Amino acid sequence: MDDRTDEMMVEWFRLVRKRNELVREETTLIYASVVCIVSSVLNLNIHDAIIIVQYADLCASTDFAYKFVIIELFAECFPNCP
């Protein structure tokens, strides 16, 4: 391989690393948004909302709609207990 090819490979790995960082950041922001929504809709403090969202994460796949169904069911079954 020549120098140009080496430079392109280095740049490609740099871009992939940056993309992975952005995906992780996006995931964190989505998780924070879900916690805020749960906190607001169920009138919970952030700590209790985090517990419910973590429980939904354990029970569900990456399908957010399914996680919200679990959260809604949890809230209906245990209205006074996060």
Locate 25 and state its tokens.
């950041």
Q: Is residue 82 part of a domain?
A: no
User: In terms of pTM, does the model score above 0.75?
Assistant: no
Residue 42 lies in a domain: yes
What range defines the domain where residue 37 resides? Answer: 3-77
Q: How far apart are CA 16 and CA 39, in angstroms?
A: 35
> Does 31 map to a domain?
yes
pLDDT tens sequence across 35-71: 888 888 878 888 888 888 887 777 666 666 777 777 7
Q: Quick check: 75 and 42 in contact, CB under 8 A?
A: yes
CA distance 48 to 71: 12
Residue 54 lies in a domain: yes
Q: Is residue 63 part of a domain?
A: yes
Query: Is residue 51 in some structural domain?
Result: yes
Handedness of CA 59, 63, 67, 72 (dihedral sign): negative
What domain count does the chain have? 1
CA neighbor of 59 nearest in space, from 51, 70, 68 = 70
* 15 pLDDT tier (thresholds 50, 70, 90): very high
